Chains A and B, each alone.
Chain A
Amino acid sequence: MDFNTVIQVLDSTIRLSTPLLLACLAGLFSERSGIVDIGLEGKMLIAAFFSAAVAFMTGSVWLGLLAGVVSSMALSAIHGLASITFRGNQIISGVALNFLASGLTVLIAQTWFSQGGRTPSLVGGARFSELTLPFADSLRPVPVLGPIYADLISGHSILVYVAFLLVPLTWWVMFRTRFGLRLRAVGEAPEAVDTAGVSVVGLRFASIAIAGVLCGLAGAYLATGLQAGFVREMTAGRGYIALAALIFAKWRPWYALGACLLFGFLQAVALRFQNIDLGAFVVPVQVMDALPYILTVVILAGFVGKAIPPRAGGEPYVKER
Chain B
Amino acid sequence: MDKMPAWADAVLVPVISVLLAAAISALVILAIGENPVTAFQLMVDGALMKSSGWGYTLYYATNFTFTGLAVAVAFQAKMFNIGGEGQALIGGLGVALACLYVPWPHWSIALIGATASSAIFGAAWALIPGYLQAKRGSHIVITTIMFNFIASAVLNYVLVNVLKPQGSMEPASGRFPEETFLPTFQQMFSTSETVLFRGSPANVSFFVAVLACILVWLLIWRTRLGYEIRAFGNSETAAKYAGISPVKITVITMLISGGLAGMMALNTTMGEAERLVLNAAEGAGFLGIAVALMGRSHPVGVFLAALLFGFLYQGGAELAFWTSIPRELVTVIQALVILFTGALDNMIRMPLEKIFLSFRKGDV
Contact = CB atoms under 8 A, between A and B. Distances in A.
A258 to B, nearest CB: 19
20 contacts: A95-B289, A96-B342, A97-B335, A99-B286, A99-B332, A99-B335, A99-B338, A100-B335, A103-B335, A104-B328, A106-B328, A117-B326, A240-B146, A284-B161, A286-B156, A293-B149, A297-B128, A297-B138, A297-B143, A301-B136
Interface of B: 28, 32-33, 80, 82, 128-129, 132, 136-139, 141-143, 145-147, 149-150, 153-154, 156-157, 160-161, 286, 289, 293, 324, 326, 328-336, 338-339, 342-347, 350
A309 to B, nearest CB: 9
A81 B348 CA distance: 13
Interface residues of A, number: 44
Contacts of A297: 128-129, 132, 138, 143, 146-147, 150
Interface in A87-118: 87-93, 95-100, 102-104, 106-107, 110-111, 117
The 9 closest A-B pairs by CB, nearest first: A103-B331, A93-B343, A92-B342, A99-B335, A100-B335, A88-B343, A103-B332, A96-B339, A290-B153
B343 to A, nearest CB: 3
B157 A96 contact: no
Contact of A111 (B32, B129, B161): B32
Given A96-B342, A97-B339, A103-B332, 7 more contacts: A38-B141, A92-B293, A107-B328, A117-B328, A287-B153, A293-B147, A297-B129
A141 interface: no
Contact of B339 (A38, A93, A110): A93
A237 B139 contact: no
Contact of A301 (B132, B160, B338): B132
Contacts of A104: 328, 332
Interface in A246-292: 247, 284, 286-287, 289-290
Nearest to B33: A111
Contacts of A243: 142
Nearest to B140: A300
Contact of B142 (A87, A107, A240): A240
A234 interface: no
B343 A92 contact: yes
